[in-house]
Amino acid sequence: MSKIINTDICIIGAGSGGLSVAAGAAQLGMSVTLIEKSDMGGDCLNTGCVPSKALLAMGKKKSSFVDAHAHVKNVIKAIEPHDSQERFEGLGCTVIRSHARIIDKNRVETEDEHRIKTKFIVIATGSHAFIPPIKGIEKEKVLTNEHIFDLKEKPEHLIIIGGGPIGVEMAQAHARLGCQVTLIDMASIMPKDDPELVEVVRQRLQQDGVAIHEKTSITSITHGDNTHTVHTDNGDISGSHILVATGRVPNLYNLGLNDVKITHNKRGIVVNDRLQTNYRNVYAIGDVNGGPQFTHIAGYQAGIVIRNICFRLPAKVNYTALPWVTYTSPELSHVGMTHHDAILKYGEDNIRVLNFDISGNDRAVAEGHKKSMMKVIGHVKTAKILGVSIVAENAGEMLPIWSLAIQKGMKMSDIAGLILPYPTLGEVHKSITGSWYKEQLFSDKTKSIIQWLQRLPIF
């Protein structure tokens, strides 16, 4: 017999975005039904951000692979209670562990025969790893982020296909854990980041023993019992394991989108700036809507949905201050416009790029930091901060001040005028923005003004 549930909000997917909406709405007094067919916490907790950062941490310590595997599982276990079914039921949510299908804009059904009538639907089903259609590839014989953290024995030779953030992070982590690692990309690694800063990461990967093959096309793959061979236009590469890290695709399967006529395409569910689908009461957040694929964006989008549904405010997304970090050693972080984007919007003559060698900072010298640098892009006429890229140890921790600056439309002088503690890496923020005014400050014109002012009486 079907179980009928009446609710204010029905959320499909208990990953970062879905859980954030559920927690916020429930604590604001709305009735919430949360449906998840797999693990609570989604990709981030179980196969993404959390295990990858735990593995990277062990790689930095040069730990054994066995210890690293144990650490990954212990970290997931420690965080699990925060995302658990018990916690959300304690917040007042009805949690259903089953597959969901949308029947119409106000009804959802599950495989275990729950029928939910709801005012609002939030689709937060996330994404999964994309397996490219390479000749000879067998999906069950390659690894993705969904399997790599389950390995209990160290791969002798890990071949990684894809040089994006996941690929380069896993390459460095496994190299530092004692694996032979080969990284292959059909273009260049980390293509969304500043090439000059990427070069710093590339050199460090190579120093760690990662063999990098860029601008290399894969023609086919041959699987053996214990050896897998990747055939490329530059020769064959054989290894014990293959990790595919070539991007992600949205989880749209069997949600009933076609039947309900919710607009979607291969990138995901189509939404407006308020994250609404073509039905005003049906929202889609996180990886499933084809936007930026970051856990922090799913959380940000959850806040937009809460403001729309609970507070009835027409809140809209704004990615002007969108940050991202690749957690290699050194880390590479970025927020705002890239150099290329700034040129396209304002023209090359209207922007200025500041460069700063972080390794000369007193704290960096004291701690023995290797090559690291920062780039800040500003508008020539307004001195407004447009974008920032940093490659350094803990570059992600250095980024928030710039996220705030760009979000609030601050100028170089706003950062240059700060009082910052010594000795800290944070001092580089003041140093680089101060250099924006150096040429003007020490110009002949300024010197003339100073000389004239010195003739005035002392006050």
245-272 residue pLDDT tens: 999 999 999 999 999 999 999 999 999 9
**Residue 76 scores a pLDDT above 70:** yes
Q: What is the mean pLDDT of residues 9-14?
A: 98
333-347 residue pLDDT tens: 999 999 999 999 999
At the top level of CATH, which class does the domain 3-40+84-129+249-309 belong to? alpha beta
Banded pLDDT at 443 (limits 50, 70, 90): confident
Per the prediction, the chain carries an average pLDDT of 95
**Residue 437 scores a pLDDT above 70:** yes
**Residue 1 scores a pLDDT above 70:** no
Lowest mean pLDDT among 2-11, 46-55, 99-108, 441-450: 441-450
Closest CA to 90 of 99, 81, 98, 79: 81
Residue 37 CB contacts under 8 Å (≥ 6 apart), including other chains = 97, 98, 99, 100, 111
**Residue 453 scores a pLDDT above 80:** yes
Q: How far apart are CA 200 and CA 288, in angstroms?
A: 33
**Residue 102 scores a pLDDT above 70:** yes
User: How many CB atoms are closer than 10 A to CB 131?
Assistant: 16
Peptide bond between residue 423 and the one before it cis (omega within 30 degrees of 0): yes
123-156 residue pLDDT tens: 999 999 999 999 999 999 999 999 999 999 999 9
Pick 446 or 244 by higher pLDDT: 244
279-328 residue pLDDT tens: 999 999 999 999 999 999 999 999 999 999 999 999 999 999 999 999 99
pLDDT value of residue 175 = 97
Q: What is the CATH number of domain 139-246?
A: 3.50.50.60
Closest CA to 110 of 125, 126, 99, 95: 99
* Alpha carbon of residue 296 to chain centroid: 7
**Residue 105 scores a pLDDT above 80:** yes
Q: How far apart are CA 325 and CA 47, in angstroms?
A: 18
pLDDT value of residue 165 = 96
**Residue 100 scores a pLDDT above 90:** yes
Give residue limits of the domains in the chain: 3-40+84-129+249-309, 139-246, 323-441
Start-to-end CA distance of the chain, whole Å, equals: 89
pLDDT value of residue 265 = 96
Residue 364 CB contacts under 8 Å (≥ 6 apart), including other chains = 358, 372, 392, 425
Asked if the domains at 139-246 and 323-441 fall in one CATH topology, the answer is no
Secondary element (H or E) of residue 25: helix 16-27
In the chain, what percentage of residues exceed pLDDT 70?
100
CATH number (3.30.70.20, 2.60.120.260, 1.10.274.50, 3.30.390.30) of 323-441 reads 3.30.390.30
Banded pLDDT at 458 (limits 50, 70, 90): confident
16-68 residue pLDDT tens: 999 999 999 999 999 999 999 999 999 899 988 999 999 999 998 888 999 99
